Amino acid sequence: MKPFDLPKNDWSLFFNKLEIKSILEVINKKYNESIINGNIVYPKHEDIFRAFNLCELQKTKVVIIGQDPYHGEHEANGLCFSVNQNIKTPPSLQNIFKELGYKNDLFSKTRSTDLSDWANQGVLLLNSVLTVEKDKAASHQSWGWQILTDLVIQFLSKEKEFLVFILLGNYAQSKKTLIDITKHKIIETVHPSPLSAYRGFFGSNVFVTCNEYLIQNQKEPINW
């Protein structure tokens, strides 16, 4: 059985817990069975925990919660809302860039669709489900990933202070109960998808509000 490549940084404080190891053992078995059955799974094996590899626990300042990875070929790269460079920009990411003030010609030429620069600054781009079968949206939602990532959110809420949780849409907002609002800032608005972006995402200033909170709490703002 091919094991997962777990983070080798300070996230080991979380992933070495016996409870977490037990959850991952179950998921890893399902993952390997799927591969053996000839299914194509995204993201690549080495990118499943990329969000944690790039955004170390100690430097985490912001958490953005997505649902599950993109299921199109070569799209998913282990970071929510992010796709590999030279892949067509998904509509939700286009709308995120529009809210940030990027023009179409700018983000298509100079603004990478790979959001690893955010992760390197302390933004944990956390999908609730970390894998998906090719062309089958939400196909791994029964595997137990949500149990794991809910525990990630609770762990962050308990162990850290003055984090910003950006919750876009109803699904992400359902995670509010896992967060201690006396210690952290929750910023919520509608999802940036084309179906809802015009109902409150545009003009919400979520990224401005995030940086204001970080500055108020003596943290370096994110260069979005």
Active centre residues (catalytic):
68
Q: How far is CA 42 from CA 9, 111, 123, 124, 130, in A?
A: 23, 23, 21, 19, 9
For residue 221, what are the contacts with CB-CB under 8 A and spacing of at least 6?
210, 211, 214, 215
Residue with tokens 């943290």: 219
Q: How far apart are the first and last CA of the chain?
A: 39
Q: How many helices (H) and strands (E) does the chain have?
A: 9, 6
Alpha helices (runs of H) in the chain, residue ranges in sequence order: 12-15, 18-36, 50-54, 91-99, 104-109, 116-120, 145-159, 169-173, 206-216
CA distance 77 to 85: 10
What number of other Cβ atoms are within 10 A of residue 148's Cβ?
20
Q: Which two tokens stand for residue 101?
A: 């003030």
Peptide bond into 43 cis (omega under 30): yes
